[in-house]
Amino acid sequence: MPGPHASSESGFAICNLCHGPARKGSRLCWSCFEVAKQLHRRLPRVVPVFLFAPTSVPHRLLVGYKAAPSAASRAHHSSALGDVLSLFLARHQACVARDAAPVTLVPVPSSSGGRASWHGRHPLVALCEKAAEASGTSVRSCLAPGAAGTRRLGASPDGFRVVSRPSTATVVVVDDMFTSGARALSATAALEGAGLRVAAVVPLGRLVCPGHNRETAAFWREVGSRPWSPLSCCACRPRPLALEVAPSAWLEAARAA
């Protein structure tokens, strides 16, 4: 496994798996290290579309697209996030999937069992369908909760089960928020256990809590000041990009790039 991304002058390292903050000199952050131990396997790379901090605009979008009180608000949040995911995959599908073609996008099911407002369909599926249309991929909701279940920092190879097979042998797992990675990475274990190749996990947002410790604060001071751009991704370059501006601003920048 390659060494830490951050230079020796930095007060932190960047996790080789999720691209979040890690202790200086470490290859993995503590969460990814714990999840890897629980799953007993080499994990696929994680390519977050953006990083975000609590209470930020993207955090409100990621919560609101599935939990806002009104249908109009949920639709507004979903449209913005769908545009970002579409732009990202249209530009970076080849580097995310390592030129595997064709691939299928597999959304991670809800951990809560869903809400009445979803009418039996996770809103993440709609985001994936919008992105698939832009990137020429397909979508398959082929996962269901498994016998073991999952929770934050509680990963399990039996956390999910595969209920139908995608039409391609290679898949990209898509989730909305990546915190510890237990759910998304448990999903990859289920897919690989069914004989599929997981090219990458693509979360829309990787949560970073700047007040967690000194390393995270130093990481956010440097990384959090970089504006998001669809021209780069964590598969193209070692450093991730934060998304901390108003939706209209980053969508306009994305479309103009």
DSSP state letters, 33-74: HHHHHHHTSPPPPB--SEEE-TTSHHHHHHHHHHH-SSHHHH
> 137: helix, coil or strand?
coil
The predicted pLDDT at position 228 comes to: 75
> Which pTM does this prediction carry?
0.88
The better pLDDT of the pair 20, 152 is held by: 20
The better pLDDT of the pair 63, 238 is held by: 63
Provide the mean pLDDT of the chain: 85
> 82: helix, coil or strand?
helix
The predicted pLDDT at position 241 comes to: 52
Position 9 confidence tier, pLDDT thresholds 50, 70, 90: low
Position 113 confidence tier, pLDDT thresholds 50, 70, 90: confident
Could you tell me the residue ranges of all domains in the chain? 13-256
> 98: helix, coil or strand?
coil
The pLDDT tens digits of the residues spanning 185-233 come to: 999 999 999 999 999 999 999 999 999 999 999 999 888 877 777 777 8
Task: State the Cα angle at 209 between 206 and 214, rounded to 5°.
Answer: 125
The predicted pLDDT at position 111 comes to: 73
For 205, the enclosing helix (H) or strand (E) is: strand 197-207
The predicted pLDDT at position 57 comes to: 85
The better pLDDT of the pair 57, 183 is held by: 183
Position 8 confidence tier, pLDDT thresholds 50, 70, 90: very low
Q: Are 203 and 46 in contact (CB under 8 A)?
A: yes
The predicted pLDDT at position 200 comes to: 94
DSSP 149-192: --BTTB--TTSEEE-S--SSSEEEEEEEEESS-HHHHHHHHHHH
When pLDDT is averaged across residues 79-83 and rounded to a whole number, the result is 91
Q: Are 10 and 155 in contact (CB under 8 A)?
A: no
pLDDT of 257 higher than 50: no
Domain 13-256 has CATH 1.10.287: no
